[in-house]
Amino acid sequence: MLITGGAGCLGSNIVEHFLPTVEKIVVLDNFATSKAMSLPVASNLDVVEGSVADSALVEKIFSRFRPEVVVHGAASYKDPHNWVDDATTNVLGTIEIIRACERWSVHRLVNLQTALCYGIPRTTPIPVDHQVTPITSYGITKAAGEAFVLQSDLSHVSLRISNVVAPRLSVGPIPAFYKRLRSGEKCTVTESTRDFLDFRDFIQCLMLVIERREVNGVLNVASGEGHSVAEVFHIVADHLKLVDRKPDQVIPPSDDDIPTVVLDPSVTQQLLGWRSRISFEESVRAILAWYDEYGVADVYSHLKSPR
């Protein structure tokens, strides 16, 4: 198994899940928004530092390890102004992975896609056949990369994923509020709604997708429930025993943010017999307990800084 972006939050948790049962896992990561220390040391784990857009390196990995399953999670998003880096990783890098999968007859390619590919939705929850009209560099380039995945003749699935709550989470309101509230900093809450999915539910879906090779195309992977950013703030404040703490400011979403992102997972439920089981609050409180023990590292965002 090859996992690109395997040192990131989602990737490293996928590695930890499969490591006890898979003969060999190879991680390819450039560590732009991740750290090598996130990965365990194991005899059946090889970690390669580099870019998915490096065609020579990608070919070397495929020729040496010959993976049967590829989970493509590498993505550039940390600087919304850097269109070139986003396009290089998310578009050209995806093409390199697809072509290598074709050359080496990979059995299954799973592309990890962002729910932001839909842009500002016409309807909520967002159905899987909704028009793809992203509004950010991250969303635009991820949508372009996905389009190439869907054009391939490989056995492939692109998973459009809501906000996965998992150990080492470094994106979104949960780590941001935890870090700020613990430090006594000001907290601004946006009037936004998001769909949060526990990693334990996500990994059950991923395993089904890898096994069910007759299922191809695009799937929404989400709880299908919307929760406000304010709800996240109050759970974090309660966890830290800041019972009277209120947001310092409540503001509308910025121009490059999307007010409501809630996905409709009904097609995924029908095709795979899968649905999320872990509640929003249980999931958030579990990750807060993880932060208590291990802390929060750098917090990233795909959004532009407020003017």
Identify the domain containing residue 208 by its residue range. 2-165+197-221
Q: 205 lies in a domain?
A: yes
22/156 same-domain check? yes
Q: How many CA atoms lie within 13 A of 123 on its CB side?
A: 7
Report the DSSP beta bridge partners of residue 227. 194
Q: 249 lies in a domain?
A: yes
User: Looking at residue 110, which CATH number applies to its domain?
Assistant: 3.40.50.720
188/100 same-domain check? no
101/151 same-domain check? yes
Distance CA 54, CA 97 (A): 10
Q: 300 lies in a domain?
A: no
Report the DSSP beta bridge partners of residue 72. 4, 111
Q: 302 lies in a domain?
A: no
Asked if residues 186 and 247 have their Cβ atoms less than 8 Å apart, the reply is no
pLDDT-derived band at 254 (thresholds 50, 70, 90) equals confident
130-163 exposure pattern, b = at least 16 Cβ within 10 A, e = fewer: bebebebbbbbbbbbbbebbeebebbbbbbbbbb
121/188 same-domain check? no
Nearest to 78 by CA among 65, 89, 93, 67: 89
Amino acid (1-letter code) at residue 27: V
Q: 246 lies in a domain?
A: yes
Q: Please give the structure tokens belonging to residue 254.
A: 């910025």
Asked if residues 123 and 130 have their Cβ atoms less than 8 Å apart, the reply is yes
> In the chain, pLDDT over 90 holds for what percent of residues?
93
175-199 exposure pattern, b = at least 16 Cβ within 10 A, e = fewer: bbbbbbbeeeeebebbebbbbbbbb
64/23 same-domain check? yes
Distance CA 83, CA 96 (A): 18
Asked if residues 2 and 34 have their Cβ atoms less than 8 Å apart, the reply is no
82/20 same-domain check? yes
Q: 268 lies in a domain?
A: no
85/134 same-domain check? yes
Q: 216 lies in a domain?
A: yes
Q: What's this model's pTM, rounded to 2 decimal places?
A: 0.94
169-228 tens-digit pLDDT: 988 999 999 999 999 999 999 999 999 999 999 999 999 999 999 999 999 999 999 999
User: Looking at residue 281, which CATH number applies to its domain?
Assistant: 3.90.25.10
78-118 tens-digit pLDDT: 899 999 999 999 999 999 999 999 999 999 999 999 999 99
Q: 267 lies in a domain?
A: no
209/122 same-domain check? yes
132/181 same-domain check? no
9/150 same-domain check? yes
139/230 same-domain check? no
126/231 same-domain check? no
Which residue reads 């089981």 in tokens?
277
Domain count, the chain: 2
